[in-house]
Amino acid sequence: MLSAHQPFETYPALIREAAHEAGGVAQVAGGVPAMCDGVTQGQPGMELSLFSRDVIAMAAGIGLSHNMFDAAVYLGVCDKIVPGLAIAALTFGHLPAVFIPAGPMTTGLPNDEKAKVRQLFAEGKVGRDELLEAESKSYHGPGTCTFYGTANSNQMLMEIMGFHLPGA
C-alpha cells in the first residue's frame, strides 16, 4: 500500500530465484505490519506508530522461531520497521542476516519548490489543490521516503553498521 514498501512486492520471488541458482532454498518466514507516520497523521491509530516496533519484532521473531533457517534476510524501511526487525535479528543473533532496503524514492519536485508551495498555502496565496499537487509530485515513486528524517537515517545507520550492502 505504501510507496516505501512497494518494491518489496517482488523481492521474495527474486530472493527465492537467487537462492535456487546458488543451490539453496529460500522461504518467507513471515510478514510484519507496516504503517507510515506521514499517512497516519491525524487518523485513528496514529499513536500506535512507536508501539508497532514491538509488534514487528515479535512478528519477525515468531516467524523465525521454528529453528529451520540457516540465515535471514530482512526487508524493511523506516523508523518503525527497521528497529523492530533489528530487535528480531538480535534475538536470533546466531543466524547470519542481511537487511535489504527498498532503495531511494525518486522525487518529482525539489524540496525548495515544495517548501515554497507550503509557504504560499500557509499565507493563503494558493489553495489546497495546489498544495496536494505539490505533495503528490514530491513523493511519487517507490522506495524509501525522500524526507531526510528517521527513515533515511535508519537506512544510513544500517549501512554504517554493516547490515546493508554498501551503497544500499
Instruction: Walk along the chain (168 residues) and give the pLDDT tens digit of each residue.
Output: 677 788 888 999 999 999 999 999 999 988 888 777 777 777 888 888 888 889 999 999 999 998 899 999 999 888 888 899 999 999 999 999 999 988 777 777 887 898 899 999 999 999 999 998 888 787 667 877 766 567 778 888 888 988 887 777
pTM (2 d.p.)? 0.79
Total residue length of the chain: 168
In this prediction, residue 95 carries a pLDDT of 94
- Tell me the C-alpha distance between 42 and 167, whole Å: 35
Strands 72-75 and 97-100: parallel
- Tell me the C-alpha distance between 36 and 48, whole Å: 11
Three-state SS at 78: helix
In this prediction, residue 31 carries a pLDDT of 86
Break the chain down into helix, strand, coil percent, rounded to 5: 50, 5, 45
Three-state SS at 142: coil
In this prediction, residue 147 carries a pLDDT of 61
In this prediction, residue 80 carries a pLDDT of 84
Domains and CATH numbers, the chain: 1-104+146-159 (3.40.50), 106-139 (no CATH)
Cβ atoms of 4 and 151 closer than 8 Å: yes
In this prediction, residue 44 carries a pLDDT of 84
The CA distances from residue 24 to 60, 83, 150, 165, in Å, are 21, 28, 35, 20
Question: 102-124 burial by CB neighbour count: b if 16+ within 10 A, else e?
Answer: beebebebeeeebeebeeebeee
In this prediction, residue 13 carries a pLDDT of 95
In this prediction, residue 1 carries a pLDDT of 67
The CA distances from residue 106 to 69, 117, 136, 166, in Å, are 35, 19, 12, 19
Helix (H) or strand (E) holding 86: helix 78-91
